[in-house]
Amino acid sequence: MVEKNLVVDQKILEYRGLFEFDEMIRTLDSLVKSKGYELQEKKAEEKVSEEEKEIHLELRPLKRVTNYQTLMIKVTINAKNLTEEIHAVGGKKRHFHKGNLSLVFDGWSLTDFERKTQERMLNYFIRGVISKYLYRSPTEGKIIGGLKSDVDFVFNQLKSFLNLYKYQIKE
């Protein structure tokens, strides 16, 4: 039985304008890998009409900290009203998407004491109550603080990455 603890709730990044969707995903992948996470795709949907398309992605980078604790950054990406445009950057023509982009970040701590200890249910229950309400170990506090800083790092780096498009491309 896995205990899920929401540490970072709904940190939202909104962007409107030109961007390269594939380049943004590659940047996100390299950012989470630099922090020791492994990117996993949970859901991918794409709706295409004659004028525009919409993309919905749910990514879940995971980082195993100990044998019984895993950190997860849930990234939900919604791209709406996407149209393709060609712009010259540095003398070369490149394909860009223009539209509304929304990224929602959630940070989760997943704990599975049962698998680690293989204890009886009473011991498992008592350990859970103590760690949740009475005493949280300093190591656990550092791990949760690390998750918060990882989410902030990825959020700020992606925000900076997307804002660079405003200066690269003159509409």
Residue 49's contacts (CB-CB under 8 Å, 6 or more residues apart) are: none
Helices (H), the chain: 21-34, 113-117, 121-129, 138-168
Residue 161 to residue 27: CA distance in whole angstroms = 8
Residue 19 to residue 62: CA distance in whole angstroms = 26
Residue 32 to residue 104: CA distance in whole angstroms = 15
Q: What is the pLDDT of residues 146-168, one digit of tens each?
A: 999 999 999 999 999 999 888 77
- Residue 67 belongs to domain spanning: 3-168
Q: How many other C-beta atoms lie within 10 A of the C-beta of residue 128? A: 15
Residue 61 to residue 77: CA distance in whole angstroms = 13
Q: What is the pLDDT of residues 35-80, one digit of tens each?
A: 999 999 999 999 998 888 999 999 999 999 988 789 999 999 999 9
Secondary structure class of 80 (helix, strand, coil): strand
The percent helix, strand, coil of the chain (3-state, each to 5) is 35, 45, 20
Q: What is the pLDDT of residues 10-28, one digit of tens each?
A: 999 999 988 999 999 999 9
Taking the complete model, does pTM exceed 0.75, yes or no? yes
